């Protein structure tokens, strides 16, 4: 059975409850999404591939502004379908300190929960801002590929949640 494409599954919308999930971080530790509920807003940053040019620019842009995200009581989490060992090597290469989660097994389960699987099989470059109550406050799926997200859009949403 093939994974659903965007034409078969819908991307979640503003106001939807963000689905809970547990994925492994780069060290093999479980990270459960609902553990942030009631404590912090969360930016879920789905990205296609570690070591790719656009992703290697996008993720460090969040790291560079991590203090601003923390000022808005927000945790940034990157999610891809890369194996966690690849993500760990990439994390070290880029000097990232926020969690990178591997949706490797079962392949793309969380990508499909959020409806952001590209028709070629990998995750779309997609951002979700989830408020402290677990509701989706903002969604942006970046098309065409190669577009680098603008962090100021994220901060505008986070200002409204403050």
Counting other chains too, the contacts that 93-100 makes at CB distance below 8 Å and 24 or more residues apart are: 94/56, 94/59, 94/60, 94/63, 95/60, 95/63, 96/59, 96/60, 96/63, 97/63, 97/66, 98/62, 98/63, 98/66, 99/25, 99/26, 99/31, 99/75, 100/25, 100/26, 100/50, 100/59
Inter-residue contact 52 to 82 (CB < 8 Å): no
- Whether 109 is catalytic is no
CA atoms of 66 and 58, how far apart (whole Å)? 13
Residue length of the chain: 162
Beta bridge partners of 22: 32
Q: Which of 12, 18, 50, 55 is catalytic?
A: 55
Which residues are designated catalytic?
A: 55
């Amino acid at each position: 059975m093939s994974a659903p494409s965007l034409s078969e599954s819908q991307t979640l919308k503003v106001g939807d409850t963000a689905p809970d999930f547990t994925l492994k971080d780069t060290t093999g530790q479980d990270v459960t999404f609902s553990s942030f509920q009631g404590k912090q807003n969360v930016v879920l940053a789905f990205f296609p591939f570690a070591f790719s040019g656009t992703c290697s620019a996008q993720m460090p842009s969040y790291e560079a502004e991590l203090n601003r995200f923390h000022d808005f009581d927000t945790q940034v989490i990157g999610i891809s379908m890369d194996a966690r060992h690849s993500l760990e090597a990439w994390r070290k290469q880029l000097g990232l300190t926020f969690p990178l989660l591997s949706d490797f097994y079962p392949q793309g389960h969380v990508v499909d929960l959020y409806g952001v699987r590209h028709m070629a099989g990998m995750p779309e470059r997609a951002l979700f801002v989830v408020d402290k109550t677990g509701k989706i406050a903002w969604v942006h799926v970046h098309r065409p590929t190669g577009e680098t997200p603008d962090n100021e859009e994220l901060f505008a949403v986070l200002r409204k949640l403050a």
